[in-house]
Amino acid sequence: MEKQKIHYSELGLANTKEMFAKAMAGKYAIPAYNFNNLEQLQAIVTACIETSSPVIIQVSKGARSYANETMLRFMAMGAVQMVREAGSTIPICLHLDHGDSFELCKSCIDSGFSSVMIDGSHLPFEENVALAKKVVEYAHQFDVSVEAELGVLAGIEDEVSAEHSTYTKPEEVEEFVKKTGVDSLAISIGTSHGAFKFKAGQPVPPLRFDILEECEKRIPGFPIVLHGASSVVQEYVELINQYGGNLAGAVGISEDQLRRAAASAVCKINIDSDGRLAVTAKVREYLAKDPKEFDPRKYLGEARKELVKLVKHKNETVLGSAGRA
Ligand code: G3H
Ligand code: 13P
Ligand code: ZN
């Protein structure tokens, strides 16, 4: 049976076009937060209402199978409704993170996503171009935005794993953007996914802003995306380790470097791990301090409160998206 087609505008969602144009002109970045469950989504939108920030809520293939794709879509619709009922008009984009096939992107587009990423970064250049172009041709009929990636981040890219990063080659970006017609491009300049971005005990290498600047020169005014941009907040790492966890050596990207990136052509910054750390830290702390508690609303409520704090901090002092809705 053919799935029912829903256009994102019917759900009160926005694509990334206007968001990125404003972010480029205003020298800030749009936050893209991953969610998998109700508490994460509530926290993200609450913080974005309170900071008056545009927001991209994004789901991975893993999130879709964890939470059920229909349930996730209805959660996103519920979040839009909750925002509007609170009297807020912040733009909200629903984005597929690290789509790994045309079929997955199409399925998201057909069910109301306003933006998709097709991640062909592990493919040879021409294959990456062909795949991205195919997604663009389908997506643009419905005004859905498309993000692609050139260069490979170290760590785990959803189910695509890369042991070592391959920095983006600036000499390829212009041809890629022209041939594919994508709306934004994720590049690899030294960020990576997860909580262990650099080798423990070794000096943390700075991000390759020289590569970013070279890319900007070749595609002036074109929106660039930074994946793997969690700071791996040390306060959370310490709480997790204090209350029975073991995340020794977890380290991320400094806020200063993210501020510098946000002021450049980087228009979208992806954050997932910091949210996971905040939730895990607060759940561990709560249960360790009150071992008799077994009502999930108690410990998940604490986690949600912390996540609101974290997202507000990111919007206000790192990405600069607060007050830009
Ligand atoms: O970049 C990957 C995101 O953090 C999503 O992670 O595939 O575990 O949901 P996931
Ligand atoms: P982090 O693991 O650094 O949060 O990166 C998330 C991301 O890039 C999602 O696509
Ligand atoms: Zn990513």
Question: 127-158: per-residue pLDDT in tens?
Answer: 999 999 999 999 999 999 999 999 999 764 44
Please state the φ and ψ torsions of residue 12, each to the nearest 5 degrees.
Answer: 75, 20
Beta strands at 160-162 and 155-157: parallel, antiparallel or unpaired: antiparallel
In ligand 1, which atom is closest to the CA atom of 193?
1
Distance of CA 158 to the CA centre of its chain: 12
Report which residue type is found at 237: V
Residue 121 near ligand 1, beta carbon < 6 Å: no
DSSP alpha helix (H) spans, 86-169:
102-110, 125-139
**Taken in order 195, 199, 201, 206, is the CA torsion positive or negative?**
negative
pLDDT in tens, 236-266: 999 999 999 999 999 999 999 999 999 999 9
Structure confidence at residue 110 (pLDDT): 97
Any domain includes 62: yes
Domain of residue 253: give its range. 9-317
CATH of the domain at 153: 3.20.20.70
Which residues have C-beta within 8 Å of that of residue 75, sequence separation ≥ 6?
Answer: 35, 38, 41, 67
- Name the residue at shortest CA distance from atom 5 of ligand 2: 228
Burial of 92 (C-beta count, 10 Å sphere; 0-12/13-18/19+) = buried
pLDDT at 163: 54
112 and 129 Cβ atoms separated by less than 8 Å? no
In the chain, where does DSSP find H-type helix? 17-26, 38-50, 61-67, 69-85, 102-110, 125-139, 170-180, 209-218, 234-242, 255-262, 273-289, 296-313
Of residues 158, 151, 221, 214, the one with CA closest to residue 186: 151
Q: What is the DSSP letter of 29?
A: -
> Within a domain: residue 323?
no
Sign of the alpha-carbon dihedral angle for 263, 186, 146, 113: negative
Closest alpha carbon to 229 in 194, 268, 270, 284? 270
What span, in angstroms and rounded, lies between the C-alpha atoms of 16 and 90?
A: 13
Centre of ligand 1 from the C-alpha of residue 100, in Å: 12
Measured from the Cα of 274, ligand 2's closest atom is 4
Spatial contact of 197 and 251, defined as CB atoms under 8 Å apart: yes
Residue 160 has pLDDT above 50, yes or no: no
Say whether 97 is catalytic.
yes
Q: Report which of 3, 18, 183 is spatially closest to residue 109, judged by C-alpha positions.
A: 3
Measuring from atom 4 of ligand 1, which residue has the nearest CA? 272
> Is residue 150 domain-resident?
yes
* C-beta 158 within 6 A of ligand 1: yes
Cβ atoms of 115 and 77 within 8 Å: the answer is: no
**Is 2 inside a domain boundary?**
no
pLDDT at residue 229 tops 70: yes
Residues lining ligand 2, Cβ inside 6 A: 34, 97-98, 193-194, 227-230, 270-274
Kindly state the average pLDDT of the residues 57-73.
96
**222, 23 contact by CB (below 8 A):** no
CA distance 75 to 64: 12
Please say if the pLDDT value at position 307 is more than 50: yes
In a domain, 32, yes or no: yes
Can you tell me the distance from the alpha carbon of 211 to that of 43, in angstroms, rounded to the nearest whole number? 34
How far is Cα 185 from Cα 146, in angstroms, rounded to an integer? 9
> What pLDDT was estimated at residue 304?
98
Is residue 64 a part of any domain in this protein?
yes
Q: Is 325 within the bounds of a domain?
A: no
Average pLDDT over the chain reads 95
Cβ 249 vs Cβ 196: under 8 Å:
yes
pLDDT at 202 over 90: no
Q: Closest-lying ligand to the alpha carbon of 271?
A: 2
Residue 4 lies in a domain: no
Number of domains in the chain: 1
